[in-house]
Amino acid sequence: MVKDTSVLLEEKRVFKANYRIVEEAHVKNWEAEIEKGKDPVSYWAEKAEQFEWFKKWDKVLDESKKPFYKWFTKGKINLSYNAVDRWVSSDKRNQVAVLYANEHGEERKLTYYELYREVNKMANALKNLGVKKGDTVSMYLPMCTELLVSMLACTRIGAVHSVVYSGLSVGAFVERMNDANAKVLITADGTYRRGKIIDLKKIADEALLQCPTIETVVVVKHTGNPIKISELSGREIFYETLIDGESDDCPVEEMDAEDPLFILYTSGSTGKPKGVLHTTAGYMVGVATTLKNIFDIHNGDLWWCTGDVGWITGHSYSIYGPLLLGTTTLIYEGAPDYPDPGAWWNIVEKYGVTKFYTAPTAIRHLMRYGSKYPNLYNLSSLKIMGSVGEPMNPEAWMWLYNKVGKTKIPIMDTWWQTETGMHMISPLPISPLKPGTPTLPIPGVDADVVDENGNSVPLGKGGYLVIKKPWPAMFRTLYKDEERFVDSYWKEIPGGVYNAGDIARKDEDGYIWIQGRSDDVLNIAGHRVGTSEVESAFVSHPAVAECAVIGKSDPIKGHVIKSFVILKEGYTLNTNLIEDLQKHVRYELGPVAVLGEIKQVDQLPKTRSGKIMRRILRAQEEGEDLGDTSTLED
Q: Are 374 and 347 in contact (CB under 8 A)?
A: no
Using CA atoms, how far apart are residues 464 and 451, in angstroms rounded to an integer? Answer: 6
Site for ligand WTA in 76-105 (CB under 6 A): none
388 binds ligand WTA (CB under 6 A): yes
Query: Which contacts of 103-108 are long-range, i.e. CB under 8 A and separated by 24 or more positions?
Result: 103/192, 103/194, 103/195, 103/333, 103/334, 103/335, 103/338, 103/339, 103/343, 104/192, 108/145
Cα dihedral across residues 98, 100, 106, 110: positive or negative: negative
438 binds ligand WTA (CB under 6 A): yes
Q: Is 313 helix (H, G, I), strand (E, B) or coil?
A: helix
CA distances from 614 to 395, 419, 617, 623, 626 (A): 21, 21, 5, 14, 11
62 binds ligand WTA (CB under 6 A): no
Using CA atoms, how far apart are residues 301 and 472, in angstroms rounded to an integer? Answer: 26
Phi, psi of 42 (to 5 degrees): -75, -30
Site for ligand WTA in 399-418 (CB under 6 A): 413-418
Number of residues in contact with ligand WTA under rule CB under 6 A: 21
In 3D, which of 348, 363, 278, 352 has the Cα closest to residue 312? 278
Q: How many CB atoms lie within 10 A of CB 58?
A: 11
Q: Which amino acid is at 244?
A: D
Using CA atoms, how far apart are residues 501 and 2, in angstroms rounded to an integer? Answer: 17
Contact region for ligand WTA (CB under 6 A) — 88-96, 117-125, 306-314, 336-344?
A: 306-314
Q: Which residues, listed in sequence order, are joined to residue 512 by a DSSP beta bridge?
A: 506
Contact region for ligand WTA (CB under 6 A) — 195-203, 386-394, 553-561, 562-570?
A: 386-394
Per-residue interface string for the shown chain with ligand WTA, residues 557-596, x marking contact by CB under 6 A: ----------------------------------------
Contact region for ligand WTA (CB under 6 A) — 71-79, 305-313, 329-337, 581-589?
A: 305-313
Nearer to ligand WTA, 119 or 362 (CB): 362
389 binds ligand WTA (CB under 6 A): yes
546 binds ligand WTA (CB under 6 A): no
H-type helices in 525-598, by residue range? 531-539, 575-589
Nearer to ligand WTA, 124 or 536 (CB): 536
Name which position in 162, 266, 531, 536 contacts ligand WTA (CB under 6 A): 266
Nearer to ligand WTA, 131 or 504 (CB): 504
424 binds ligand WTA (CB under 6 A): no
What are the b/e assignments for 354-388, b being 16+ CB within 10 Å? bbbbbbbbbbbbbbebeeebbeebebeebbbbbbb
Q: At its nearest, how many Å lie between ligand WTA and the CB of residue 183?
A: 26
Contact region for ligand WTA (CB under 6 A) — 4-12, 210-218, 345-353, 389-397?
A: 389-397
431 binds ligand WTA (CB under 6 A): no
520 binds ligand WTA (CB under 6 A): no
Using CA atoms, how far apart are residues 485 and 621, in angstroms rounded to an integer? Answer: 31
265 binds ligand WTA (CB under 6 A): no
Contact region for ligand WTA (CB under 6 A) — 137-145, 310-318, 336-344, 475-483?
A: 310-318
500 binds ligand WTA (CB under 6 A): yes
In 3D, which of 252, 214, 231, 246 has the Cα closest to residue 122? 246
Cα dihedral across residues 109, 114, 117, 123: positive or negative: positive
Site for ligand WTA in 601-630 (CB under 6 A): 609
Using CA atoms, how far apart are residues 148 and 301, in angstroms rounded to an integer? Answer: 19
Name which position in 391, 421, 462, 463 contacts ligand WTA (CB under 6 A): 391
514 binds ligand WTA (CB under 6 A): yes
Cα dihedral across residues 460, 465, 471, 474: positive or negative: positive
Q: At its nearest, how many Å lie between ligand WTA and the CB of residue 420?
A: 8
Q: At its nearest, how many Å lie between ligand WTA and the CB of residue 85?
A: 28
Q: At its nearest, how many Å lie between ligand WTA and the CB of residue 517?
A: 5
Positions in the binding site for ligand WTA (CB under 6 A):
266, 311-313, 388-391, 413-418, 438, 500-502, 514, 517, 609
